[in-house]
Structure 1
């Protein structure tokens, strides 16, 4: 079930992207499965079509799906388990940063807090500026090369998402 919580600090497109990515990683959505059309999913969730289109675009850039005009958006094979793991870690990092921001914190404060947590949990891990630089380093999406989702229930919670 795809859900959007408009009270969440994560933007709706990111919530959609993360949920589809997880469904693909877990094998719930098999290779070749067609995702719902952008306009249909947007209407079902009460969102603008551009919001869903952005989520699909990011899924395509990350190698989860391929989209063809008139042919729909379909799930691609996921050959790299490490890619899925890295994506999951990135999703959690984004959620953490969104929560820190919602609380009024800065990205720098988030990095310092995470670095301190790593040091507390794993004393042998690198610390100081090097650790903060590694933590702050951007990740590069990796690319890799019916519709069971069309009947998937969707919901939008927390009020009007428009």
Structure 2
């Protein structure tokens, strides 16, 4: 079990891990309709996007999120997948490039920006340089949360780590 799962449990969350690569759409639908949060964990962003798309669950997740019945967010690769593109994965020197048969660099598009988790100084310079060309890049530094509301985007320092969220 990952550190993030243990953290959620300390906050009193009841977790139902769901491996999209190895479950049917029907199985996922039963689980997702009982949940209030979908949390996509880190790893390889190309594989995560591929597994979600191959499972056939993306339209289901989109519909549930759009209806406002559930929150969907992720950390690291999970946050990247929620964005419109995974192309910043090339910053990792091909480590996370799509393998033969896997999805392209297309994200799920739940948010209109391209999330760049754990940006290095060099990556931040590239992000800054690309802004005039209307690249919607959003650096997500360690310890930050990127919240998306109906009309608002914000990066908020995460100061509550290890504490229980307020009710």
Whether TM-score is above 0.5 comes out as no
Greater radius of gyration (CA): 1
Q: 1 or 2 for the larger relative contact order (CA 8 Å, sep ≥6)?
A: 1
The two structures have a TM-score, normalised by structure 1, of 0.25
Q: Which structure dedicates a bigger proportion of its chain to helix? A: 1
The two structures have a TM-score, normalised by structure 2, of 0.24
Q: Which structure dedicates a bigger proportion of its chain to strand? A: 2
